[in-house]
Structure 1
Amino acid sequence: MHDIVSFIKNISCEIDTYCMVGDLSASEMQMIEIAKALSFQSKLIIMDEPSSSLTSEELKKLGILIKDLRAKGISIIYISHKLDEIFEYCDIVTIMRDGKVIDTKKIEELTRSEMIAKMVGRDMESEYPPLPDSVGDVLLEVKNLNTNKLHDIDLTLHKGEILGLVGLVGAGRTEIIRALYGADRVKSKEVYLNGEKVVIHSPKDAKKHGMGLVPEDRKQQGLVLRFSVERNLTMAAFDRLTKFGFLNMVKYMSIWLFDVYMLLNIDCIVLSGGLLAMGDKLIKKVEEQFRRYQTTEFDVQFYQTELGADSGLTGAVELLF
């Protein structure tokens, strides 16, 4: 037990070693995974997206830890799509695209724009598409949203607009989305769609009004991993996809829309989940998407902690403390 405590202290993380892992936050679970890797006293540690759920403070601790491990002669393979971390922590970078190695260079030999171009296979004038000059009428209004954690939240979303919710882990971003979608209980909430007041007590109510939620933890909350891509795409909208008991071609459109060329009977457990979770919502003809990491032409409420994506994708931002 003493060794376990020391490994946790090595990552500057204060977690009760007797608590159940299921009771920990996503960021705490991430830190425990790192501590577990250190406990093996390995000479090579592979970190696959280690910062995906970390707060900014925990990310700083991770950076210090990585530099300390490197100073001790431990090699690290750091897998990430976050370019700031690649430039901060790595000495050599290997860029991959479509399952192939595109280039391997010392980090000082690459610029950010060059790395992006190699990742996507084309030169990019901008990392994100240009935002429209104007937005449409008000689509969604949320007034007086209150829960045990949220207090007097008001939001306004226009047609064709992307509204970003920005804050650290624990600031309340996910809680706002879940409360709005009817997934969590609220003390008070007023929701207006196209100027008309609607009642949303459950996700079923939200779906009825044309909303779709792509959760942060898609593999636990958004997909049935034992089912195929086809079943995941069609099960939530079976009534829309059938005519006299037969499925029609609509189910293929959500796949073509995002260029996910794959067999429909492949198990979704082997996929990353993002595009599939989006397709599940698009196939139901939703008008609005609450999501993370993907881009659509729908009215979108966008919640995450990556400020680069927020500033590049969103037309309006709500800052949470």
Structure 2
Amino acid sequence: MTNYKLLIVDDEQGVLNSLERELRREGYTIFSAAGGRAGLDILREQDIGVILSDQQMPEMDGITFLETAGQYKPDVVRLILTGYGSLESAMAAINRSGIFGYLTKPWSPETLKGTIARAFEHYNLILENKRLQKLTDDQNQVLKRFNADLEGLVHERTTQLEEAVREGIMMLSLASEARDDDTGEHIYRIRNLTYDICGELGISPKESEQIGFFSMMHDVGKIHIPDSILKKQGPLTEEEWSVMKNHAIVGEIILGDKPFYQTAREIARSHHERWDGAGYPDGLKG
């Protein structure tokens, strides 16, 4: 569930009132504090997504407060509110402490709303990345248990198990392609092209067939990419592109650590590499 809880910290009540009036219309649940210590008390009790704090405050300045808040809640997205005269120190804090951004006084309503909206988008991407990582970890545990069971039966049912694995790979391949608005023909085209290229390279028909089959798994990692990114119309943001590029590594992880999957793992991880080193995730060249 999207978290739209916003904490505003400023020692001037008039500034707090003004910010609340502007931002409450955007649908945020707003908490306010007149200083850093009160802000930390709220942060301990509430699942805050974004903090906007004034820089110049008595007792605890905004930078110290935001640095402390980041230690309490590493995922919270932090913004500093500063005057033009303090902008240099605010920028230094952003670079030093991982503060997401800043707003200058006086602010325009459009800049204020846009900055807060981007901060919440960033926060939700952080949560989505954590969810995907947990999903990957859970999938790894399932695959480890599955592979352990296979090892106990491999000598007795080799032929049946190989067929089951092939069917599982095919289903997973088709599932990942189906999420990408593809009819499934793409993975068969990739298989046929791979087989033809292997033949041109002098690779035996049997090995070419195996490599072609494993090439159908190249995009299996997309099964973990959220639809909001995978099916987005228009260019991706930098954060979204980072999540998208992660599908090559996720695909390698999904395929486990058994020797049987070695070729499939290599294809899944490296199918976006380029000869000039401009690909991902490893920037291979040559």
> Which bracket does the TM-score occupy, shorter chain normalised?
under 0.3
Looking at secondary structure, tell me which structure has more helix per residue: 2
In the superposition, the TM-score normalised over structure 2's length comes to: 0.25
Looking at secondary structure, tell me which structure has more strand per residue: 1
Largest Rg, 1 or 2: 2
